Structure 1
Amino acid sequence: MSNQASDRLQQNVERIMHLWEKRARDEVNASIHHDSLVLQDSLPLYLNQLVDELSNRIDRTPARIAADEVESTRIGKKHGHERAGYADYSMTQLIFEYHILRQVIFQVLEEEAPLEVRERDIIIGSIEQAVNDAATQFSETLRDIQELFMVTLTHDLRGPLNVVKMGSQLTLRRLKRGDSHVDVAVRMLNAINRLDSMIQNLLDASRLRAGQSLNIEFEECDLEVLVQEVVEDLSFAYGERFVVVCDSDIRSYCSRKEIRRVIENLAVNAVKYGASGTPITLTLQQTETQISLTIHNEGDPIALDAQSILFQQFRRTISAEEQTGWGLGLFLVKSITEAHQGTIEIESAEGTGTSFIIKLPKVPDRVA
């Protein structure tokens, strides 16, 4: 292979970037908002790297090839990182930029003579790798930006929400029993608690997506007392629909706060999606090493295809589309359960209703 392609590319880097920018401004909507230097960012670096890949003046030792791959990846990721920082750029537009660049490179380099097959393969392979690197980094950077936004937003919401919550609690305490405004105050407080729970779910989901673990603090818990407390609170909002069936003296090492969230979430879901007016049964059982909590409701079964997505974040079944929430509740139920080294199962069939079954070790390995 001669150096003609490498030399022509080196001589035409500025022209290629000029032609590329002109087409990008005509065909990539997001590009019209940026000046020339911002728009081009790392692409001239990429072209210079491609000059070296096409050259036969450089001894292509395994070490040199590996170094070039590292540098090429760095440049591609730099481009993807920078594009993700612009709110108007999408993944599709990022990839399209590279398609335009490939077309312009071939257009300029083949003006005088066709490229050799090997030269075309090098260019195509290089462009494909650059697209992969840029797209991967674009996704990772966009995810990080979204996570930071979510954490910041939910944190900032907590302040005014706590003020409203405290005010509602104070108002409720000062109202006399039988006052017609008690029901309004209770509804307000329940709505605030639901919003607070949704915010906490967003924060926890953000941590999990970022690869962090939930902050689980284990302590000895009387699970029967915990279930009874949850049922008492829920009965205040949803009526006397809850039935507790429990073995005696069920204790475990767990996070009282997080297991309470699991019970509340599953019980409220049973209210939302179960048959109206039918009982919701919470059953606690134990063996020597394991505790089982089953929350059962009557009503239509959950289809098998819907069961497969129940525990995925931001996914909702058709029956849940009209309900409020982020679609994070069951994702977090599963995450909390697994953080306790437990499992969650679903049993749902026509005529028998739906059961969510949580199984927890009495003493998780990290506590034993």
Structure 2
Amino acid sequence: MTQQNRLSTFIYEHIEPILQAWEDFARTIEPPALTMDDAELRDHARQMLHAFAADMATAQTEHERAAKSKGLGTRSHADTAAETHAEARLLSGYTVVQLVSEYRALRASVLMLWAAETSAAHPTQMTDIMRFNEAVDQAVAESVARYEYMVKQSQNMFLAILGHDLRNPLGTVVTGTSFLMQATDIPAKYVLVATRMFNSAKRMSKLINDLIDFTRTHLGPGIPIRVKQGSLVAICEEVVNELRTFHPERLVELHAPSKLDAIFDEGRIAQVLSNLIGNAIQYGDPEIPVSVRVEANADDVQIFVNNQGKTIPAETLPTIFDPMVRIAANADWKEGAYMERTSLGIGLYISREIVHAHGGTITLTSDPSSGTTFIVTIPRLPAGFGGAGAGAGGKSNSTPQAA
């Protein structure tokens, strides 16, 4: 097969009929590309076809061929035509299925037109087809990845704005009901209603805070923490007593040394404890106490939260900290299954991110003999703090700072 009959040369020489065939297909997709004129509609496809032809004319190793067929080919730092095309299609209202269908049409247009121009089979013809398909596969992978990234960013931005916008009106409800709860000149039944509204608003506030924390982890900065030396035992006692008050029917046992100082963010660690103990109360056997145990050595502090009850299936353990995965994967579990049916399903994920922000780890074990146990391990002296560690009853010479 002469150079004139090679597929890469054919693409350069017949780019207009190829673009026309592809444009005819693109115009059949609903919704139509309302934000793009004919020139823009053709521009991305023209760039991609030139990229395909240039790629086919470039020698490659077997390893490069295999990587490209999986969408893992090498690339420059600049956005590719496929990525730019994906952004434009998202803004035009295309679904990812419609986006991929365009590549299918582009592939078919090129190969059908080339087949009509090629009279006889030649060994290099199959090679050209394979190289062309590899280039298209790479472009599809780049387009889908960019499309998915932009969708996730848009979703997270929406959630962040929603969470922030809900804070102010909810704060008004909390303040107003708190004022009514303290009133002495209204009937008791109204105070009772105000108390219930206050408790509901506080639960809503926790959900909104979780939502904002979730979006922070996905929009770049992560969950912020401000660490200082404090009493970990005091924080544990405060959270345990709060949950005992909220769940008077349940027994929560705390086993901790009389004094244990460390460097940590008090509010964030309290948030972790509240999530873990709340989980244990919700899913544990109501006849058996929830156990919270605090231990420490020279370097680390460990907090164990244990409940007895239905164990978590082994296949679920690797994803238990993933945000909202349990809700999507186990929507049809039987009653009593270990799933947060009344929450966003992100409490454990946020707890993990807070612990990681402290330079620690959070793990989980679950078996019939010992029950379900969450184990939080954080360093007593986080990275960035000099001087001696803060031991039980000891002092740290570090200055509080943002972590």
TM-score above 0.5, yes or no:
yes
CA distance in 1, matches of 2:355, 2:45: 47
- 8 Å contact from structure 1 (residues 271, 280) kept in 2: yes
- 8 Å contact from structure 1 (residues 84, 139) kept in 2: no
Question: Which residue does 1:233 correspond to in 2?
Answer: 242
- 8 Å contact from structure 1 (residues 72, 130) kept in 2: no
Q: Does 1:273 align with 2:283?
A: yes
- 8 Å contact from structure 1 (residues 172, 186) kept in 2: yes
- 8 Å contact from structure 2 (residues 312, 338) kept in 1: no
CA distance in 1, matches of 2:383, 2:191: 47
SS at match of 1:312: coil
CA distance in 1, matches of 2:56, 2:285: 69
Q: Does 1:364 align with 2:382?
A: yes
CA RMSD of aligned residues (A): 3.0
CA displacement at 1:314 relative to structure 2? 1.3
Task: Select 2:346's aligned residue among 320, 328, 331.
Answer: 328
CA displacement at 1:105 relative to structure 2? 1.1
Code of the aligned partner of 2:280 = A
SS at match of 1:89: coil
CA displacement at 1:234 relative to structure 2? 2.0
SS at match of 2:18: helix
When you count helix as a share of all residues, which structure comes out higher?
Answer: 1
CA distance in 2, matches of 1:356, 1:104: 57
CA distance in 2, matches of 1:3, 1:71: 33
Task: Select 2:229's aligned residue among 220, 232, 236.
Answer: 220
Task: Select 1:109's aligned residue among 114, 132, 146.
Answer: 114
Distance 1:47 1:71, change over 3 A: farther
- 8 Å contact from structure 1 (residues 270, 296) kept in 2: yes
After alignment, is 161-170 or 205-214 more displaced? 205-214
Task: Select 2:84's aligned residue among 78, 83, 92.
Answer: 78
Q: Does 1:339 align with 2:357?
A: yes
After alignment, is 212-221 or 338-347 more displaced? 338-347
Code of the aligned partner of 2:80 = R
- 8 Å contact from structure 1 (residues 310, 330) kept in 2: yes
After alignment, is 304-313 or 12-21 more displaced? 12-21
- 8 Å contact from structure 1 (residues 49, 72) kept in 2: no
SS at match of 2:235: helix
Higher relative contact order structure (alpha carbons within 8 Å, sequence separation ≥ 6): 2
Question: Which residue does 1:290 correspond to in 2?
Answer: 300
Question: Which residue does 1:171 correspond to in 2?
Answer: 180
Deviations 1:296-328 (A, max 9, x none): 223222222222211111122542456211211
Q: Which runs of 5+ in 2 are unaligned?
A: 61-73, 387-403
CA displacement at 1:118 relative to structure 2? 4.1
CA distance in 1, matches of 2:90, 2:49: 21
Deviations 1:59-108 (A, max 9, x none): x699xxxxx9649961111112222334x433232222101110011122
Distance 1:330 1:52, change over 3 A: closer
CA distance in 1, matches of 2:52, 2:78: 9
Distance 1:358 1:183, change over 3 A: farther
Deviations 1:139-191 (A, max 9, x none): 22222222222212212121212111211222222258993444433332222
CA distance in 2, matches of 1:151, 1:44: 38
Code of the aligned partner of 1:270 = A
What is the TM-score normalised by the length of structure 1? 0.85
Code of the aligned partner of 1:110 = A
Deviations 1:261-312 (A, max 9, x none): 0011011111211123542222222223322222222322222222221111
- 8 Å contact from structure 1 (residues 282, 293) kept in 2: yes
For residues 1-368 of structure 1, what are the structure 2 equivalents within 5 Å? 1-4=2-5, 5=7, 8-26=10-28, 28-31=29-32, 37=38, 39-40=41-42, 42-50=44-52, 52=54, 70=76, 74-86=80-92, 88-114=93-119, 116-174=125-183, 179-239=188-248, 241-316=251-326, 318=333, 319-321=337-339, 323-368=341-386
Distance 1:12 1:34, change over 3 A: farther
CA distance in 1, matches of 2:187, 2:141: 66
After alignment, is 192-201 or 110-119 more displaced? 110-119
What is the TM-score normalised by the length of structure 2? 0.78
How many percent of aligned residue pairs carry the same amino acid?
A: 24
CA distance in 2, matches of 1:250, 1:70: 52
CA distance in 1, matches of 2:240, 2:211: 24
- 8 Å contact from structure 1 (residues 243, 279) kept in 2: yes
Deviations 1:182-201 (A, max 9, x none): 44333322222222222222
Code of the aligned partner of 2:3 = S
Distance 1:354 1:46, change over 3 A: closer
Deviations 1:332-364 (A, max 9, x none): 111111221222232322254322221222212
Distance 1:192 1:41, change over 3 A: farther
Q: Which runs of 5+ in 1 are unaligned?
A: 63-67
